Chain A
């Protein structure tokens, strides 16, 4: 069964450093989402792509976060510089373009710890 791939699975960094996370959605899925989940909370949407275009980045802290999906397939989320409050699980999800009724499929996540 196809899955959403994410790497790395775990990342430890010091504050003020740059970090990057990678996501490869299920083949053929045109819509891609990045969520952030702080421990004990539900996931919160950071950015949504349709193919290579950003559909919604209203909750993305643009002073330090950036996201791209250059060829409309895999995606990278970057934080520069990282802050202590960025420690969280970063989840990537995807769904097919055809049916908005379909569920989003989530990857295993990247757990970030900022020291």
Chain B
């Protein structure tokens, strides 16, 4: 099973601040997918195939990485970005999610 380790676990960012979240895989994966979950809502797809922006997602979000190291970047933090962010690997079953990074507004 591929384990995804996200860091940090929790962080706070000020409006306008650049934010970088990390997802490390225990084995190499083909792609990473990023989801945003607010309050008790269902997860929302942000990034697919590591760096492709999902439809309707603001372009302040971007993804990068390869092999075992991936990141999600918010170029300029906005209040609406406060949420929990999960990474997901679909390279091999069982598909696995990271434990999430909780991003708060400072």
Do the two shown chains form a genuine complex with each other? no
Which A residues are closer than 8 A to B by beta carbons? none
